[in-house]
Each structure stands twice: as structure tokens, then as C-alpha cells.
Amino acid sequence: MKLIIRILVTAVALAVAAWVVPGIHTEQWTLHGGTAALTNNASLAWTLIVVAIIFGIVNALLKPVIKAVGCAFYLLTLGLIAIVVNGALLYLASWIAYDHLHQPFHVTTFTAAVEGALIVGIVSWLIHLVLGDERR
């Protein structure tokens, strides 16, 4: 049950990032002149859930390795390198989803990936704060 909630929270956070960051695109959801044009809700939800699963797998597999290898960078930058790492992992998840699984979720630039990763992190934290997430 906790896994399903975490996937849904990540999907919602990715939706917010796609809505706010101009460089993150879904074919169903684009921002046009301040209003969101949304078509086919089920398709958008499926895309966001698939990308959330991919993002979770990429984070689970690569983040511990990157932290172990780049421990000195984490210490040197007082952890701020984590923002760049999260952006890179979101960019990788987008590449897997868009280029290999043909899901309509695409991050166009690395800057957009870093901005999106910041938004995903903040929105996920806020939702888990409201839900009372117990990660013990």
C-alpha cells in the first residue's frame, strides 16, 4: 500500500512539474498562454504513473551508487550536488520513458530537468507532510 501511495504522490508531483516547468512536456498537457490544455485524462494519468515508476526505479538503482561514488562532492557542496543529481536522474527517466517506452513525457533540457526535480521534491515533500508519510 505504501508503494502505491508513493507512486501516486510522485505522479502528482510530476504532473505539477510538467505544468509549471516550460521544458517538461507531455503530449496531453501543455501550458498555452497561462491556461492548461488537458485532453484524455486517463492517458495522461497512465503516462504519469509509468514515468513515476521509471523515476522510482532509476532513483532506487542509481542514487545509492552515485552517492557512494560522489561522496566527496556531497561533502564539498554541503549536499547541494543532490539537486543536480536529482535533475540528472529525472532527465534519465525522461529519456527512458520517451525514447525507449514511447511515453509522451519529455524533458527537453538539463536545466528543465533540474527545475523539475526541485518541484518534484518539494511537491512530494508537501504531499507526504499532509498524508503523514511514515518512512521508518
Question: How high is the pLDDT of residue 110?
Answer: 96
Distances (CA, A) of 130 to 13, 56, 125, 127, 133: 14, 21, 9, 5, 8
Round to whole Å and give the CA distance between 15 and 128.
16
pLDDT in tens, 81-97: 999 999 999 999 999 99
Is residue 134 classed as helix, strand or coil in its secondary structure?
Answer: coil
- Please spell the DSSP secondary structure of 7-25, one letter per residue: HHHHHHHHHHHHHH-TTEE
The CA–CA distances, whole Å, from 66 to 3, 13, 35, 84, 134 equal 23, 23, 38, 11, 25
Cell digits of residue 124: 512530494
Alpha helices in 1-136 (DSSP H): 2-20, 41-69, 71-76, 81-95, 110-131
Q: Residues 6 or more apart from 104 whose CB is under 8 A from it?
A: 25, 26, 27, 28, 47, 98
Which pTM value belongs to this model? 0.84
Q: Which three cell numbers stand for residue 113?
A: 530537468
| pLDDT tens digit sequence for 24-53 | 988 755 444 444 555 567 788 888 999 999
Rounded distance between C-alpha atoms, residue 13 and residue 9, angstroms: 6
